Chains A and B, each alone.
Chain A
């Protein structure tokens, strides 16, 4: 036990882990150029192990393509660093004035590592898109997708049953919890091409029997995933919805269909349902209305000077709160645990796009950094006063 404790609390382990962190950052940065920030973040920093592969986009990839370097992922390094810090801190913990600064500093570092994990697991980054004169009560992820089945039978509200797209696996069936339906996924593509079948096109492996896929005789083909940061990959799925042993139809679902065409609906036992594949939505208990979006430029140039959105927040759950707010660059709206940043615009400057960040642990890095600073200050003052006293004596 002592040996294990010694191993985990050793400074050698700290140095090794920090060195490995630098290696992971280095190779992660290399891959970020080819695969974009989201993919790299997930692969290198939100994982336990990762294998760096010589990128096929590089020169001599036909010769060096076999080169692969395995390394620990960010989560593993983070947990090991946390254990290392904790064991070092606790095994050498002494409640003395001499060690007070060091203890506070270490506690700050431990809190910093924990805050990173908290942010990783709890923070949600999404977007909100609102047209001038329109309003929105949800934000949507730009990376995560969901298949939704919406029950419209209640006259006052809709019930959304959301299945994360990760669960849509080829030729797998799953129950949609809370409904009498099963979904059988025939195909799921992270990026795809939708086209209208030419005359005499061969029939598909799975015939489409419902919705826009049937009406427009759509064909779906897989495409290489585009990792660039501004890419708009089109996710598509071919699914059969069944109730018990009774199939209700086979649909083409795609975030691009859902974006444009009227919702795909079906009826079952007198209830109306709709189905869609879309970017995961996060609904809010309030509405954001866009009154006006302005895009100021420096006079006589096309250089942007400012983007701003005049919005109205309407919140019935907060005593019918109704107030106007101006969001502009570096002046976000912080409301009900979310921060709305002005991010972009679209549709000839009539649609405003906000980046919406929910991070319940946002205060932790501030506290931890303050603790580290305080620890250093205490330690410095302790030694400084000791030095002054010593000098005075001599």
Chain B
């Protein structure tokens, strides 16, 4: 009698533990609060390679706000919204309605190289892709406050769209200053765009 009572006494918690264990370990959605994080990009990371190439592991510095260059936009440009990628944003509209947008973006590494980026922009204004040998016709390099900049000019007369862009390399990052929009707005703002590019100064 005593033995059977002890058996039942032993069996119950063992069955309960077994059931509990079977119920455990399910992958379910969770939510929780955490303190605000300062994001560190410190772990082994990727670097953009040439177009079509696989992103390789490496260590690429990522721009922080302290890397932000100084610039001086024309007063008639309207400042727009910025983000962690888009560090500067401006727009301008002429009385005729034609408009342009200027963006300052930063990416780690070379983001696929000069040709890949130019072809990406060319695609945005419906131009066919360029080859390496075309680069000398559409780019010039100049030094802006001790930093080498590659200036790119793209124009698609049939679509009435243009792009003027400058690429700066600083501290392992590529900074893109790109003015894109209607051809007439780009042409009328050519001097302002050039001045803005010339005002970019990395510390």
Query: Could you mark each residue 86-122 of chain A with 1 if its beta carbon is under 8 Å from any beta carbon of chain B, else 0?
Result: 1000100111000000000000001000100110111
Q: How far, in angstroms, from A193 to B54 measured CA to CA in the complex? A: 6
- CB of A61 within 8 Å of the partner chain: no
Query: Could you mark each residue 76-91 of chain B with 1 if its beta carbon is under 8 Å from any beta carbon of chain A, else 0?
Result: 0000000111000000
The chain A residue sitting closest to B84, CB to CB, is A262
Contact of A198 among B28, B40, B51, B57 (CB under 8 A): B51
Query: Which interface class (under 10, 10 to 19, 20 to 34, 35 or more) fits B?
Result: 35 or more
Contact A232 B44, beta carbon cutoff 8 Å? yes
Contact B46 A216, beta carbon cutoff 8 Å? no
- Residues of A contacting B40 in the complex (Cβ-Cβ under 8 angstroms): 131, 134
The chain B residue sitting closest to A94, CB to CB, is B3
Q: A199-B116, A261-B62 are in contact. Are A163 and B21 (CB under 8 A)?
A: no
- CB of B148 within 8 Å of the partner chain: no
Contact of B37 among A118, A158, A163, A217 (CB under 8 A): A158
- CB of A256 within 8 Å of the partner chain: yes
The minimal Cβ–Cβ distance linking A189 to chain B, given in whole angstroms, is 14
Query: Could you mark each residue 1-28 of chain B with 1 if its beta carbon is under 8 Å from any beta carbon of chain A, else 0?
Result: 0110011001100100110010011011
- Residues of A contacting B29 in the complex (Cβ-Cβ under 8 angstroms): 161-164, 167, 176-177
SS class, residues of chain A in contact with chain B: mixed
- CB of A156 within 8 Å of the partner chain: yes
- Residues of B contacting A164 in the complex (Cβ-Cβ under 8 angstroms): 27-29
- CB of B97 within 8 Å of the partner chain: no
- CB of A321 within 8 Å of the partner chain: no
Q: How far, in angstroms, from A121 to B35 measured CA to CA in the complex? A: 28
Contact A93 B85, beta carbon cutoff 8 Å? no
The chain B residue sitting closest to A353, CB to CB, is B43
Contact A196 B46, beta carbon cutoff 8 Å? no
CB-based A-B contact count at 8 angstroms: 156
Question: Which of B104-112, B137-145, B154-162, B180-188 has 4 or more CB atoms under 8 Å from chain A?
Answer: B104-112
- CB of B68 within 8 Å of the partner chain: no
Q: How many residues of A are counted as interface, with CB atoms below 8 angstroms from the partner's CB atoms? A: 61
- Residues of B contacting A300 in the complex (Cβ-Cβ under 8 angstroms): none
- CB of A129 within 8 Å of the partner chain: yes
Contact A95 B2, beta carbon cutoff 8 Å? yes
- CB of B49 within 8 Å of the partner chain: yes
Q: A110-B14, A114-B17, A158-B33 are in contact. Are A166 and B27 (CB under 8 A)?
A: yes
- Residues of A contacting B11 in the complex (Cβ-Cβ under 8 angstroms): 86, 90
- Residues of A contacting B3 in the complex (Cβ-Cβ under 8 angstroms): 93-95
Contact A283 B32, beta carbon cutoff 8 Å? yes
Contact A93 B34, beta carbon cutoff 8 Å? no
- CB of A19 within 8 Å of the partner chain: no
- CB of A208 within 8 Å of the partner chain: no
The minimal Cβ–Cβ distance linking A46 to chain B, given in whole angstroms, is 9
Contact A198 B52, beta carbon cutoff 8 Å? yes
Query: Could you mark each residue 193-204 of chain A with 1 if its beta carbon is under 8 Å from any beta carbon of chain B, else 0?
Result: 111111111000
Q: How far, in angstroms, from A309 to B30 measured CA to CA in the complex? A: 32
- CB of A51 within 8 Å of the partner chain: no
Contact A121 B24, beta carbon cutoff 8 Å? yes
Q: List 11 A-B contacts (CB under 8 A).
A: A82-B18, A121-B24, A121-B25, A158-B36, A159-B34, A198-B51, A199-B115, A259-B45, A260-B62, A262-B41, A283-B34
* 13 further contact pairs, Cβ within 8 A, besides A195-B51, A260-B60: A129-B42, A157-B35, A160-B34, A177-B29, A193-B55, A196-B50, A196-B116, A215-B107, A259-B44, A259-B45, A260-B43, A260-B46, A283-B32
Chain A residues with a Cβ under 8 A of chain B: 79, 82, 86, 90, 93-95, 110, 114, 117-118, 120-122, 129, 131, 134, 137-138, 152, 154, 156-164, 166-167, 176-178, 193-201, 212, 215-217, 232, 256-257, 259-263, 265, 283, 346-347, 351
